[in-house]
A and B are shown apart, each in its own frame.
Chain A
């Protein structure tokens, strides 16, 4: 791993422990002579089976929103040894999955952080992971070997998050934080034969720790404190030269899916005793404001004793409202885009900006939806581009809306089409025209996969633009940030009614026209939380 360098995080201001913050994560690749920078608050794209769902490599690369990808490892457990560990050459996982090291930062965790389904219990020496061939037990030593071979830029230490049904006893929670700390210590052991030069670490350079403790504040506190405690004897020897675990940690990460599940008792999940598990609930609603408040408070409890200088990651946030609350009240730096990508799976084009638009007497009107369900009949004759709040490439010059640079709103023509014989002439280039809602409506109702491709590209771009808006306010007018969030919450429906509506129509169309697609879809959902099944006919 000698070419893997340290992730650097620079916070612009020196904020209090819990306040919105502007920062930059940078990763310099000496061997590639490139430096990757991601401005925070910002997004990380989610993947399924190692790919950003619906995007071929050329699309993934061309999307400006995709700079950082999160790769759950568990699907690769189908093959032994797992595929990314076998790939020849440098940056094996990047190379294997088609993420150029010059463009993408890549994080790897064992499990899919959005997967909150019931699973067989973890043990003292293993985590239960899910792949197409069933549940696999992965030990901390195996995880260490896997990431040593797969060489992601950033890795998440194993942690013991219980996904068994029912509530968790104090004993179970204690076990959870003890295991998580011990598995972290395992991954922080010095690497065999690693040459320690200036700026390099003897252990894995960029290890994130998932903050354990579930919904029990004292447990979260205990876990955080355990990271700071000096270690002695054998334990200290094992992680030498580190004095405590936190010194080896590059950042803190929080999976919200299990928290949402525990805090929303109404959400029924089918329990299975021995897994493989039930399909993800397609109709799950976003967390209520009260749940978001509790999530904020739990995360603060975890972060309170820890240094504020390290980046903070949140996975499986489920709405822009929750993201804004976590930026404002905690100071979270990076969020995965899972919910926005899931919206593309079910036919929704996102359409919101931060700060919220000021035009119109919005206060009295019903809250706006954060996007459009293109399954809806109202779009069948609508030839406008995807978003009202963003302008497409065909907008007038003096249009003041922020522009959407996605390949649906601003398609780019190939600069040099292939030629297959010398008779072939370069075709005339026409000015690009944005894709229309009517076309999306048509593609969704005819089950054309290209709909999800264009929606994925669009939704990632909208979320990226949203974060750019957040950063702009934090940089230029930090004093109005809170006010703008309140205004955003007033204008945009936090219940995400459009997603619920889209899930319903998506299912109806699948039933009516799917030719077994729904069955395949359920099959896919047993494995992955993202992406739709391939339309085979």
Chain B
């Protein structure tokens, strides 16, 4: 991997950079759409490519179950299997073991679980995870970590964090022996729950492995924790992580979360949110999400966003037409998915340009005003951005501020 920081924001910790992997260049900060089972739901790799997306994510856990390592090896890897010629990242499977499988037991050796197909007891060790990721052939691979829900408290959090460090060492060792270091880049995952002391300990240990990893992820968040705690952990990690490696915040996908993370120094993020919400008929815009299923869109012949370059908006597909087809026809899911992916890419693309231009704070203020101006700014975003020197309420002291997670949503016709 080549990683080059091209510009840093004069005020915040945001930076724009260029990451060169075996399948091309991806400029950062970027959002990575999720193709869990080797397909972004409903759209073809050619369509994703056309949207200007150069890095997507596959899930190791799922691909290991289906199609299985044998098929992946025969296909020549996941790139070949799905016809995707650009960069690819795989997670290690640790998160899915916990989120999808109630009966997972973690031992020092690895994660012990029952196969969802056969019920057979199966062991996923750090070595096995890396070996599967080698067969998948992703450009960025993740260490197996011991994942606990971000709401977990007590000694289990420390144990998981410390085990994640030990498992990182096993992943590094296995990866180095494999001879795949030139083409596949291993990322460490910082754990430690919501406890700043544990996070710090994890950061210290993982930063010691600086020369053996290609980048760092911040894991164990986005599990329903309070946003005010979430951003503090992100800030703590991003601040301490070395500047010469990319930083990846796992499971982040709301536009406001993305921009706060970027301002705190994060380079990459992934989430199923934009694609999943599309299937429920929600289109993302710079003025907030539109729930196209609502009756108020039934006779609206405007496109989702007349300034959007995605195929759906460029064709002028109206909100009314999408209202008619959304959640009934897969074609509507595809149309909104294309739009939402373009939206995420635009949010991040504009962040890149504004960082290069030295106007990132102004971009943040404009984005939040457009997105939340009428509904009210989430307080946690104001706090998070103040911590890196940007005051969203600058020049607008009377703006409405809302507590809680502040996510914006079109719930009903009357809202």
* A contact residues vs B (CB 8 Å cutoff): 48-59, 75-76, 78-79, 83, 86-88, 95-98, 132, 380-381, 383, 407, 411-414, 417-425, 427-428, 430, 433, 435-436, 438-439, 441-443, 445-446, 448-450, 452-454, 524, 527-528, 531-537
CA distance A438 to B75 in the complex (A): 9
CA distance A446 to B117 in the complex (A): 12
Pick from A59, A75, A422, A439: contact of B353, CB under 8 Å: A422
Pick from B27, B85, B321: contact of A423, CB under 8 Å: B27
A433, B39: Cβ atoms under 8 Å?
no
CB-defined contacts of B311 to chain A, threshold 8 Å? 56-58
CB distance from B8 to the nearest CB of A (A): 14
Q: A380-B67, A381-B70, A438-B75 are in contact. Are A96 and B333 (CB under 8 A)?
A: no
CB-defined contacts of A88 to chain B, threshold 8 Å? 301
User: What would 8 more interface pairs be, CB under 8 Å, given A411-B45, A449-B334?
Assistant: A383-B75, A425-B24, A435-B83, A438-B81, A450-B44, A452-B330, A531-B330, A536-B327
Which of the listed residues A88, A420, A425, A452 has the most CB atoms from chain B within 10 Å of its own CB? A420
B330, A54: Cβ atoms under 8 Å?
yes
List residues 334-366 of chain B with CB under 8 A from any CB of chain A: 334-335, 338, 342, 345-346, 348-350, 352-353, 356
B44, A454: Cβ atoms under 8 Å?
yes
B321, A50: Cβ atoms under 8 Å?
yes
CA distance A21 to B74 in the complex (A): 48
B81, A449: Cβ atoms under 8 Å?
no
CA distance A120 to B332 in the complex (A): 30
B46, A453: Cβ atoms under 8 Å?
no
CA distance A411 to B46 in the complex (A): 8
Stretch in contact with the other chain, from B48-56, B136-144, B249-257: B48-56
Stretch in contact with the other chain, from B156-164, B222-230, B312-320: B312-320
CB-defined contacts of A55 to chain B, threshold 8 Å? 331, 334
**B324 located at the interface, meaning its Cβ lies under 8 Å from any Cβ of chain A in the complex:** yes
* Chain A interface mostly: loop
A453, B334: Cβ atoms under 8 Å?
yes
CB distance from B58 to the nearest CB of A (A): 12
Which of the listed residues A88, A407, A438 has the most CB atoms from chain B within 10 Å of its own CB? A438
A524, B333: Cβ atoms under 8 Å?
no
B43, A450: Cβ atoms under 8 Å?
yes
B328, A534: Cβ atoms under 8 Å?
yes
A57, B315: Cβ atoms under 8 Å?
yes
CB distance from A78 to the nearest CB of B (A): 8
Q: A418-B342, A420-B348, A435-B83 are in contact. Are A53 and B67 (CB under 8 A)?
A: no
B67, A87: Cβ atoms under 8 Å?
no
CA distance A433 to B75 in the complex (A): 12
CB distance from A67 to the nearest CB of B (A): 18
A49, B41: Cβ atoms under 8 Å?
no
**B98 located at the interface, meaning its Cβ lies under 8 Å from any Cβ of chain A in the complex:** no
CB-defined contacts of A412 to chain B, threshold 8 Å? 46
List 10 contacting pairs A-B, 8 Å CB cutoff, sorted by A.
A56-B335, A86-B320, A420-B349, A421-B356, A424-B54, A427-B49, A442-B71, A448-B42, A534-B328, A534-B330
CB distance from A460 to the nearest CB of B (A): 14
Q: A442-B67, A531-B329, A532-B330 are in contact. Are A98 and B41 (CB under 8 A)?
A: no
CB-defined contacts of A48 to chain B, threshold 8 Å? 329
Query: Closest A-chain residue to B70, C-beta based?
Result: A381
CB distance from B67 to the nearest CB of A (A): 4
CB-defined contacts of B6 to chain A, threshold 8 Å? 423
Closest 7 CB pairs of A and B: A420-B349, A414-B50, A418-B52, A423-B27, A421-B352, A449-B42, A421-B349
CB-defined contacts of B49 to chain A, threshold 8 Å? 413-414, 417, 427
Query: Closest B-chain residue to A430, C-beta based?
Result: B85
Chain B 73-101 interface 0/1 with A at a Cβ cutoff of 8 Å (1 = within): 01100001111011000000000000000
CA distance A53 to B350 in the complex (A): 34
Query: Closest B-chain residue to A413, C-beta based?
Result: B46
Which of the listed residues A422, A427, A524 has the most CB atoms from chain B within 10 Å of its own CB? A427
A98, B46: Cβ atoms under 8 Å?
no
CA distance A435 to B16 in the complex (A): 35
B27, A421: Cβ atoms under 8 Å?
yes
CA distance A152 to B37 in the complex (A): 41
**B309 located at the interface, meaning its Cβ lies under 8 Å from any Cβ of chain A in the complex:** yes
A453, B317: Cβ atoms under 8 Å?
no
CB-defined contacts of B66 to chain A, threshold 8 Å? 442, 445-446
CB distance from A417 to the nearest CB of B (A): 5
CA distance A435 to B80 in the complex (A): 9
Which of the listed residues B310, B335, B346 has the most CB atoms from chain A within 10 Å of its own CB? B335
CA distance A48 to B47 in the complex (A): 22
CA distance A453 to B333 in the complex (A): 12
CA distance A57 to B310 in the complex (A): 11
Pick from A52, A56, A95: contact of B312, CB under 8 Å: A56
Pick from B71, B280, B331: contact of A536, CB under 8 Å: B280
